[in-house]
Amino acid sequence: MASFTVTVGDLDNGWINSCLLVKALRSGRKLRAMLCGYYGEHNLGDDALLQVLVSQIPSDWEPVVTARDSEAVQALVPGVSSVNRRSLSDTIRGLDQVNALVLGGGSLLQDGTSFKSLVYYLVLLWSARFKRVPILLWGQGLGPLQHRLSRVLVKHTLSGVRAVSWRDPSSIGLAERWGLKIPMLMGPDPVWRHPSPPWTGGTRLILCWRPTPLLNSKKWGVLLEAVDRWSANDCSEVIWLAFHTEQDASLLDDLRRRELIPEGLDRRSVQMQAESLEQVQSLFSESALVIAMRLHALILAATAGCPTAALSYDPKVKAAAQLAALPWVDLNDALDVDRLNRQWQSVMTADRSNSDIEQLKRDAQLHEEMLVEELQKLSA
């Protein structure tokens, strides 16, 4: 991570940014909003978040996206400007050219990934405060924050935010317990607003799985035996769909090397790396069943009306499944082949008209309402 030092010149940039805002308004030029998130990292979940976020930016604002792979972001949002998110110094300098900072969806304010990742976002937020760039948090999760220092830093940083939309009850609950005096609301994950083609049915089982320390060789064995038994009777092919290229794409080969995959399942298994979200949605709409560990795989499959079940490696996955009335298994618990097969079979025969999912789609509009209202205030 790049080093960062605040100077008197940085503080003067707050006045400069205010002048840029006035100048843009007077000239009729579009105002610019920096959209900061885990974008251009070849993670389909964050790709979906970005597409939803950009679609909600008012027409008199121009988005500038922080991205690792600018070409990947261009494929998602043609013509959008970007700044290198892997360079903190470049991103901070980019704040001088924008009129608002939007911390996009996901759980960015957490130290579960690493404390270094949390520091990155905190430094960026404090830089925006020094430069007097208004800050909005859109569709955010809060935590996990395992260290006391993390909690203290995040609490004080959030006190300078203009408005927040949280994506789950535990996040807004923590923020309220902290006594934050900023406008806050809560709605389901913004990806519930992502358009999806309707489910038409098919014969393929799709696994959106990831490596996790919750599964040792024994538990992997139970899970894979359950998939083998289910797929032998009810599907023609098992697609291992990697949602995060760097983390998920090698999972099937790793399990093969460890000789954990039953012979029949191995013959039916195909590794796939999707080229686009459209390809993912097409696969979901023509599948027999999706079993998801990845949160946004779960949401995208469910929005299409596809039979969907969750394997929860993180509380956010369990929470989303519960909100959508979808079956789930906590990977912290003991696994049972018969129970898993009964659960997955029940999904196949369940009523496809899920009123809970339709309500989630409507409730997720709260994030857009907050974003549009606050950006319109800035441009008034």
User: Domains plus CATH for the chain?
Assistant: 8-187+364-379 (3.40.50.2000), 204-356 (3.40.50.2000)
CA 328 and chain centroid, separation:
19
Confidence band (pLDDT; 50, 70, 90) for 15? Answer: very low
The predicted-structure confidence for 320-375, as pLDDT tens digits, reads as follows: 999 899 999 999 999 999 999 999 999 988 776 678 899 999 999 999 999 999 99
Q: Which of 25-39, 85-99, 247-261, 294-308 has the lowest mean pLDDT?
A: 25-39
Confidence band (pLDDT; 50, 70, 90) for 29? Answer: confident
- Cα(251)–Cα(67) distance, rounded to whole angstroms? 25
To the nearest whole number, what is the mean pLDDT of the chain? 90
Q: Give yes or no for residue 173 having a pLDDT over 50.
A: yes
Confidence band (pLDDT; 50, 70, 90) for 248? Answer: very high
Beta strand 100-103 pairing with 135-142:
parallel
Q: Which two tokens stand for residue 52?
A: 């939803």
Residue with tokens 């995959």: 261
- R_g of the chain computed on alpha carbons: 22
Highest mean predicted confidence (pLDDT) among 194-198, 308-312, 357-361: 308-312
pTM, to two decimals: 0.89
- Cα(60)–Cα(360) distance, rounded to whole angstroms? 28
The predicted-structure confidence for 294-303, as pLDDT tens digits, reads as follows: 999 999 999 9
Q: Where are the alpha helices (DSSP H) in the chain?
A: 8-27, 44-55, 70-76, 88-94, 115-130, 148-158, 169-177, 217-234, 245-248, 251-257, 263-268, 277-285, 295-303, 315-323, 337-349, 355-363, 365-379
| DSSP-based three-state secondary structure for 206 | strand
Q: Give yes or no for residue 237 having a pLDDT over 90.
A: yes
Which helix (DSSP H) or strand (DSSP E) does residue 309 occupy? strand 308-312
- Cα(328)–Cα(310) distance, rounded to whole angstroms? 4
Q: Among 32, 39, 38, 45, which Cα is nearest to 75's? A: 39
